[in-house]
Amino acid sequence: MAIKQAFMKQVRGITFVGKTDSGHWITIDGPENFYGSNAGIRPKELLLLSLAGCTGSDVVAILQKKRVPLNGFEINITAEQSDEHPQVYTKINIEYLFYGKSLNTNDLERAIELSQTKYCSVSAMLKKAVEITHSYKVVEN
């Protein structure tokens, strides 16, 4: 079993800098009216980007192995959040946008399926607590 570590240091108020085993730093912060400096991404927003990065990496790697010629790729995530504290996400939708010509939708669907059911560890962790759905669009260009 691998052990992963993260380090977080307060800069001021609720402004923090942190890094993980990869050695890259990130700033996490909150709004000025809540003791922050508004100098970085919010922790919960980072969770959505983690999900997008995890599944996006899977999908791109799978499509590259299949030699699918993408001209571009984007992910839009929409999350519903409860009104009551701790204001957790209750539903998350991942929209995959594929740019290219004559893309085989079977390849795209299979890449998404493999990411969501086998490879994306962030999805696997989150779907235990929140409903995750997905959709995709192909943009011919």
Q: What is the pTM of this model?
A: 0.92
The model's pLDDT over 95-121, given as tens digits with 9 standing for 90+, comes to 999 999 999 999 999 999 999 999 999
Percentage of residues in the chain having pLDDT higher than 90: 99
Give the burial class of 19: count Cβ atoms within 10 A of its Cβ; 0-12 exposed, 13-18 middle, 19 or more buried. middle
Q: Where are the domains of the chain?
A: 1-41, 43-140
The model's pLDDT over 48-67, given as tens digits with 9 standing for 90+, comes to 999 999 999 999 999 999 99
The per-residue pLDDT for 109 is 98
Tell me which residue has tokens 């609720």: 14
The per-residue pLDDT for 57 is 97
- Per-residue confidence band for 80, with pLDDT thresholds at 50, 70 and 90: very high
The per-residue pLDDT for 127 is 96
- Per-residue confidence band for 25, with pLDDT thresholds at 50, 70 and 90: very high
Looking at the domain that runs over 43-140, which CATH code has it been given? 3.30.300.20
- Per-residue confidence band for 28, with pLDDT thresholds at 50, 70 and 90: very high
Distances (CA, A) of 117 to 29, 58, 113, 123: 32, 11, 6, 8
